[in-house]
Chain A
Amino acid sequence: MKQFLLKIAIALSFFLSFILIIVIIDPYKIFWNYKTNDYNDFIVPFNKDVVTTRLLIENSKVENYNSFILGSSISQAFETNHWKKYLTKRDTIFHMSAYDENLIGTYGKLKLADNLNLNINNVLWVLDVGGFNTVNYTTNMAQKHYLHTGQKLKFYFNFLKSFTKIKFFISVVDYSLFSTYRNYMGSYIEKKKLKRNLITNDQDYQHYEEEIKKDSLLFYNKKRLKKFENRQTKTPRVVNFIKNDKQRKLLKKISTIFKKHNTQLKIVLPPSFEEFEMSSSDIFFLQKLFGKNVIFNFTGRNHFTKSIGNFLDESHFRTPIAEQLLAIIYKK
């Protein structure tokens, strides 16, 4: 028995050491408490849901946020300073978005804002195809914060699991010790430090505009142009985004929060280069739930989808397009 327990203990201590190293380095900034400034310094491609959630919790102690931009990375084209023009001076905006944002994350963040006693007076909700899904992501970049899923153990376990990729683990330890990027690290280590505004949580999108301005042909190179190849050139595909009861239930819960706060809501169904068109039954459902005048449908084929130059890839449009969309929304 002693020999068996000793071997189990050795195996466990090996894995505990592995876990300890990850916890000490904490590249995703999930194990310790951090100051707001620390969320601009990641050595790995970070989890935006974690950053958004932590910034909201920390900043809400000081900032009186009452206006929120919701959505996935597609919503990043909507900058808070552009939306501010359409709100009052007293409104304070927070970009409450996340990568691969879905209904679980959206509802979770709204509930969090409500629990933090913030007023949800204005919402600009950029609701793309992925925004309707209800998947519990498990990857380190896409998974939702445990405050939104209620699965704390799984949340930490999924991050720990990502380090079982040996190359990733070695890259992180190496970079943490020597702060030197080496070629073998590939995309495991964040070479380009993407800056964000730590008050509004705006991601720096202007660097794309600067790159395009500098050399648009270099920006729209072969590799990037390949992303645009899948488009249906004939009739745009009509897609049902709302397919099951779980989605409807979450949408209703979101609607309840908006009603509670008497939110001035704008739901943007954004354009996509692939020209997916939202079905009329889905639009009808959203109008019935949130109100007819709050839905702004830019899906399908329109003048935004005509040019590749309006997009960074098949789904992410550029900031000037977001400004045009805002002008249309607030003109109506």
Chain B
Amino acid sequence: MLFNSITFLIFITLFFCFYWLVLKKKEHQNILIFIASYVFYGWWDWRFLALIFLSTVLDFYIGKKIFRSENRKKRKQLLALSIFFNIGMLMFFKYFNFFIDSWVTLFNFFGLKSNVSSLNIILPVGISFYTFQTLSYTIDVYNKKLKPTDNFLIFASFVSFFPQLVAGPIERAKNLLPQFTKTRVFDYNDAVSGMRLVLWGFFKKIVIADNCALVVNEIFNSPESQSPLGLLTGVFCFSFQIYGDFSGYSDIAIGLARIFGFDLMTNFKQPYFSKNIAEFWQRWHISLTTWFKDYLYIPLGGSKKTKAITVRNVFIIFLVSGFWHGANWTFIAWGFFNSMLIIPIILFKKNNEKLIKKEGSKIKDSISVVITFFMIMILWVFFRANNISDSFIYLGNLFKFNTIDSFIGGYSVSKLVIFLISIFVILDWNARNNEVPKIYQQRYRYLFYFITIVTILNFSVNQDAGAFIYFQF
């Protein structure tokens, strides 16, 4: 069930009516959340429900057992079981064919034959998100940062909470779980700010991401026939497609949750205005980067030990992060090259100097922003291309010119898409230090709401182009 569908509109309208107008008690609202979330998730494919239920049941009981056990070895074993099951599930559904194909390729490289064949495995939507969410629960219980819940319904609702189930933000149990135990009362200000965020999210997704996708698909489907300008346009538009798509989804998820009295974490903070790559990674997909920081980076030693260990840890985090995004060497390459951009900053920074510098002169900051964006944009080629060799061919051709004519090569830039992106950049800047553009909170806000809705309806492309990118993760 896509957020941008009539089915979801009917679903959320019914949910709203029952949640606020019919059911008053939090226990009844939690039951509704659980049922609605399973309906929402099952709409994709009812077979996925068994997996999420299994993961929920297992981690619920593991959490309780870890908490009750005083035996350190037993606690570790239980945690290992949770990690093994969740990561194992992820490995099987997401990476099994990748490992088989890579194994076969390796065998073929050495001239050996392999009889192993890949399976026809369907990737359950959102598996990368909810497995990490439940893992954070068992890890926090193990580290005694969180007391487990005795209420299975609350835990199941936390795991399957439909606004953030399929594409995040990846919530921490200590933030979201207690909210299910509190009485929720309709708050007008929260509902209004939630609706604003949903509107802004739909704008990003439907107007920006979906329209950029038309240009991106055309160029990435036949990069060999594109001029350097065409290739640059392709990756430039992809930068905004992925940002609009992913941050748009997050905004819709956070906005919806807020309407129903839940507070989810911010997932994006205008990342393309970052002044260096380290700052970018503090502003992009915040729920995932903080997850890796808390559950992988810090246990490995973080930045508390030597620079060599810090560099090692950063390298591991980015490789794993890349791998999390997809079963393809391109994502690992993307993670690798991102780490190569951060590591020099770590190596050359002075002791106690922060990675993210304070604001300097406007000109210097603007140049830094442009350079940082350019570096991020170039690396997005690996994220979007079908394989490693295509990525390198794309980049090679992107820089293969010696005159302006050879750069342009007859490519005609889509003025409409460039115009939309320009407007979006201005509005995103207007939204800095805020969730939504400030025009949504000013005197003529109703006029801007109207313009936004008409623009969304006007620029919506067909349904096939409408799925969110991050659902594939």
Q: List 10 A-B contacts (CB under 8 A).
A: A1-B186, A1-B188, A4-B186, A4-B192, A7-B192, A138-B462, A153-B6, A157-B6, A164-B457, A166-B454
Question: CB of A81 within 8 A of chain B?
Answer: no
Measured CB to CB, the nearest residue on chain A to B186 is: A1
Contact B6 A1 (CB under 8 A): no
Chain A residues, Cβ within 8 Å of B461 = 138
Q: In angstroms, how far is the closest chain B Cβ from the Cβ of A97?
A: 23
Chain B residues, Cβ within 8 Å of A1 = 20, 186, 188
Question: CB of B149 within 8 A of chain A?
Answer: no
Question: CB of A233 within 8 A of chain B?
Answer: no
Chain B residues, Cβ within 8 Å of A154 = 463
Question: CB of B321 within 8 A of chain A?
Answer: no
Question: CB of B472 within 8 A of chain A?
Answer: no
Contact with B along A1-35 (1 / 0, CB 8 A): 10110010001000000000000000000000000
Chain B residues, Cβ within 8 Å of A161 = 457-458, 460
Q: In angstroms, how far is the closest chain B Cβ from the Cβ of A213?
A: 38
Contact A4 B188 (CB under 8 A): yes
Measured CB to CB, the nearest residue on chain B to A169 is: B454
Contact with B along A234-258 (1 / 0, CB 8 A): 0000000000000000000000000
- Place the interface of chain B in its size category: 10 to 19
Determine the distance from Cα of A11 to Cα of B20 in the docked complex, in whole angstroms: 20
Contact with A along B176-214 (1 / 0, CB 8 A): 000000000010100110000000000000000000000
Interface residues of B (CB under 8 A from A): 6, 20, 186, 188, 191-192, 449, 454, 457-458, 460-464
Report if A3-B462 is in contact (Cβ < 8 Å); known contacts: A157-B6, A161-B457.
Answer: no
Contact A164 B188 (CB under 8 A): no
Measured CB to CB, the nearest residue on chain B to A8 is: B195
Contacts between the two chains (Cβ within 8 Å), count: 25
Chain B residues, Cβ within 8 Å of A157 = 6
Q: In angstroms, how far is the closest chain A Cβ from the Cβ of B96?
A: 26
Chain B residues, Cβ within 8 Å of A136 = 462, 464
Chain B residues, Cβ within 8 Å of A166 = 454
Determine the distance from Cα of A138 to Cα of B466 in the docked complex, in whole angstroms: 13
Measured CB to CB, the nearest residue on chain B to A137 is: B462
- In the complex, chain A residues 95-151 whose Cβ is within 8 Å of any chain B Cβ: 136, 138
Q: In angstroms, how far is the closest chain A Cβ from the Cβ of B130?
A: 31
Contact B191 A4 (CB under 8 A): yes
Q: In angstroms, how far is the closest chain A Cβ from the Cβ of B197?
A: 15
Question: CB of A223 within 8 A of chain B?
Answer: no
Question: CB of A165 within 8 A of chain B?
Answer: yes
Contact B186 A164 (CB under 8 A): no
Measured CB to CB, the nearest residue on chain A to B189 is: A4
Interface SS majority for chain B? helix
Measured CB to CB, the nearest residue on chain B to A138 is: B462
Determine the distance from Cα of A154 to Cα of B6 in the docked complex, in whole angstroms: 9
Q: In angstroms, how far is the closest chain A Cβ from the Cβ of B451?
A: 10
Chain A residues, Cβ within 8 Å of B454 = 164, 166
Chain B residues, Cβ within 8 Å of A164 = 454, 457-458
Chain A residues, Cβ within 8 Å of B188 = 1, 3-4
Determine the distance from Cα of A161 to Cα of B186 in the docked complex, in whole angstroms: 33
Chain B residues, Cβ within 8 Å of A3 = 188
Determine the distance from Cα of A166 to Cα of B449 in the docked complex, in whole angstroms: 15
User: 6 additional contacts, CB 8 Å, given A4-B188, A4-B191, A166-B454?
Assistant: A1-B186, A1-B188, A136-B464, A138-B461, A153-B6, A161-B460
Chain B residues, Cβ within 8 Å of A153 = 6
Determine the distance from Cα of A235 to Cα of B195 in the docked complex, in whole angstroms: 58
Chain A residues, Cβ within 8 Å of B6 = 153, 157
Determine the distance from Cα of A7 to Cα of B192 in the docked complex, in whole angstroms: 10
Chain B residues, Cβ within 8 Å of A138 = 461-462
Chain A residues, Cβ within 8 Å of B186 = 1, 4
Q: In angstroms, how far is the closest chain B Cβ from the Cβ of A8?
A: 8
Task: Give the contacting residue for A165; candidates B191, B458, B460; CB below 8 A.
Answer: B458
Chain A residues, Cβ within 8 Å of B460 = 161
Q: In angstroms, how far is the closest chain B Cβ from the Cβ of A22?
A: 13
Determine the distance from Cα of A165 to Cα of B460 in the docked complex, in whole angstroms: 12
Measured CB to CB, the nearest residue on chain B to A165 is: B458
Determine the distance from Cα of A144 to Cα of B191 in the docked complex, in whole angstroms: 39
Q: In angstroms, how far is the closest chain B Cβ from the Cβ of A104?
A: 13
Measured CB to CB, the nearest residue on chain A to B459 is: A164
Contact with B along A157-190 (1 / 0, CB 8 A): 1000100111000000000000000000000000
Determine the distance from Cα of A138 to Cα of B461 in the docked complex, in whole angstroms: 8
Chain B residues, Cβ within 8 Å of A7 = 192
Q: In angstroms, how far is the closest chain A Cβ from the Cβ of B131?
A: 34
Determine the distance from Cα of A165 to Cα of B186 in the docked complex, in whole angstroms: 36
Measured CB to CB, the nearest residue on chain A to B191 is: A4
Measured CB to CB, the nearest residue on chain A to B192 is: A4
Measured CB to CB, the nearest residue on chain A to B460 is: A161
Q: In angstroms, how far is the closest chain B Cβ from the Cβ of A2?
A: 9
Q: In angstroms, how far is the closest chain A Cβ from the Cβ of B435?
A: 18
Determine the distance from Cα of A138 to Cα of B460 in the docked complex, in whole angstroms: 10
Chain A residues, Cβ within 8 Å of B464 = 136
Determine the distance from Cα of A157 to Cα of B7 in the docked complex, in whole angstroms: 13
Determine the distance from Cα of A11 to Cα of B191 in the docked complex, in whole angstroms: 15
Q: In angstroms, how far is the closest chain B Cβ from the Cβ of A192?
A: 27
Q: In angstroms, how far is the closest chain A Cβ from the Cβ of B439?
A: 17
Determine the distance from Cα of A161 to Cα of B192 in the docked complex, in whole angstroms: 26
Q: Which 10 A-B pairs have the closest CB atoms?
A: A164-B457, A164-B458, A1-B186, A138-B462, A4-B191, A164-B454, A4-B188, A161-B457, A3-B188, A153-B6
Chain A residues, Cβ within 8 Å of B192 = 4, 7
Determine the distance from Cα of A164 to Cα of B457 in the docked complex, in whole angstroms: 7
Q: In angstroms, how far is the closest chain B Cβ from the Cβ of A140?
A: 13
Q: In angstroms, how far is the closest chain A Cβ from the Cβ of B240?
A: 22
Chain B residues, Cβ within 8 Å of A165 = 458
Q: In angstroms, how far is the closest chain B Cβ from the Cβ of A253?
A: 21
Chain B residues, Cβ within 8 Å of A11 = 449
Measured CB to CB, the nearest residue on chain B to A14 is: B450
Determine the distance from Cα of A93 to Cα of B6 in the docked complex, in whole angstroms: 40
Determine the distance from Cα of A153 to Cα of B463 in the docked complex, in whole angstroms: 13
Determine the distance from Cα of A157 to Cα of B463 in the docked complex, in whole angstroms: 12
Q: In angstroms, how far is the closest chain A Cβ from the Cβ of B259?
A: 9
Determine the distance from Cα of A154 to Cα of B449 in the docked complex, in whole angstroms: 24
Chain B residues, Cβ within 8 Å of A4 = 186, 188, 191-192
Q: In angstroms, how far is the closest chain A Cβ from the Cβ of B459?
A: 9
Determine the distance from Cα of A39 to Cα of B464 in the docked complex, in whole angstroms: 32
Q: In angstroms, how far is the closest chain A Cβ from the Cβ of B295?
A: 39
Determine the distance from Cα of A138 to Cα of B188 in the docked complex, in whole angstroms: 37
Q: In angstroms, how far is the closest chain B Cβ from the Cβ of A18?
A: 10
Q: In angstroms, how far is the closest chain A Cβ from the Cβ of B105?
A: 28
Determine the distance from Cα of A226 to Cα of B454 in the docked complex, in whole angstroms: 35
Q: In angstroms, how far is the closest chain A Cβ from the Cβ of B120?
A: 17
Determine the distance from Cα of A11 to Cα of B464 in the docked complex, in whole angstroms: 28
Determine the distance from Cα of A122 to Cα of B204 in the docked complex, in whole angstroms: 52
Measured CB to CB, the nearest residue on chain A to B13 is: A8
Chain A residues, Cβ within 8 Å of B191 = 4
Determine the distance from Cα of A3 to Cα of B458 in the docked complex, in whole angstroms: 29
Q: In angstroms, how far is the closest chain B Cβ from the Cβ of A136?
A: 7
Determine the distance from Cα of A11 to Cα of B447 in the docked complex, in whole angstroms: 12
Q: In angstroms, how far is the closest chain B Cβ from the Cβ of A285?
A: 24
Measured CB to CB, the nearest residue on chain B to A7 is: B192
Measured CB to CB, the nearest residue on chain B to A157 is: B6
Measured CB to CB, the nearest residue on chain B to A11 is: B449
